[in-house]
Structures are given as C-alpha cells and as structure tokens.
Amino acid sequence: MFLNRRVLKNNKRTPVMGATAAMIFKWRTTMTSFANVLKVSALVASLAAVPALADDIAPTYTHEVLTRVADHAVYPRVAMVNSEEGVVTVAVSLDASGNLTGVNVLNSSGIPSIDLAAIQAAKDAAPYPVPTGDNTVVKGKIRFAL
C-alpha cells in the first residue's frame, strides 16, 4: 500500500493515510460502535429470558418488553472511553394500552451514564405491547459490558 507523504515545518516527512486507508479506518470505527450496540442488546436479551421479578406478570411478556428495551440500548460513549461496565435494574411502568408511564432505576450500576442509557432505552422502546393488566410494572436487569 502506498502512503502519501507531507512535509512538516521541521522538514521531517511523515506518512499520511491515503483515501483507501481513511475509508477503512472510518468503516472500522463505525463497525466498532455498531458492535458495542449489538453487545449490549445481546446481553440484555439474554437477561430478558430470566423470569419476571414480579409474580403476576407472565415471563413471556417480561421477555418481550425487555427485548424491546434491548433493541434500543446504546452503550454510552463516556463509559466506553473509560472502559466502564455495569448492571442496572429498571422498573418499566405501563398503562393498559402499553404506553410508558414511568421508568425507575431500582439498583444503580454506580455509573450515571450507564443508568441514564438504560432509562433512555426504555423510553425509546415505547409504545409496548398491550399488557394483560391495567397498570403493569416490568422489572429487569440491563448489563452494559465491553
């Protein structure tokens, strides 16, 4: 591969990425970010298979809600840069139509950006499928891991 060269002020020649190398670097950066989103989603989806923390909610409905949250989870850039990981337990409150009425953090990860990412994922996933009861609260864990 040929590298373009440029002359700096101190008369030293340094390699500079060509157009092809720059495109590959951009693609790798994009794919790395995409892979981190998928990693969060896969971890949340695997945790969604755990039975509901509440006794009156069907495990399949809990799985469906937490999977929907997983599809909208995005690893926070600040946490990624600092190599921070954590598990957040959230409670998603729904009305009889499946509309989101509230999201609460039951157990914090200890990292504010990860807690906020879990809350935002629950908000972005609304509206949810129609629950069996009038006011339903689905509880589950979301793991953010690199």
Domain boundaries, the chain: 19-144
pLDDT band at 95 (very low <50, low <70, confident <90, very high): very high
Whole-angstrom distance, CA of residue 95 vs CA of residue 33: 34
Greater confidence (146 vs 5) lies with 146
Count the residues in the chain.
146
- Locate the DSSP E strands across 9-108: 13-16, 86-94, 100-107
- The mean pLDDT value of the chain amounts to 76
Q: What is the pLDDT of residue 7?
A: 44
Q: What is the pLDDT of residue 28?
A: 53
The token pair that represents 134 in the structure block: 């009038």
What pTM was estimated for this model as a whole? 0.64
CATH C-level class of 19-144: alpha beta
pLDDT exceeds 60 at position 19: no
Q: What is the mean pLDDT of residues 94-114?
A: 96
pLDDT in tens, 117-134: 999 999 999 999 999 888
Give the torsion through C-alpha atoms of 49, 61, 70, 87, to 10 deg.
-60
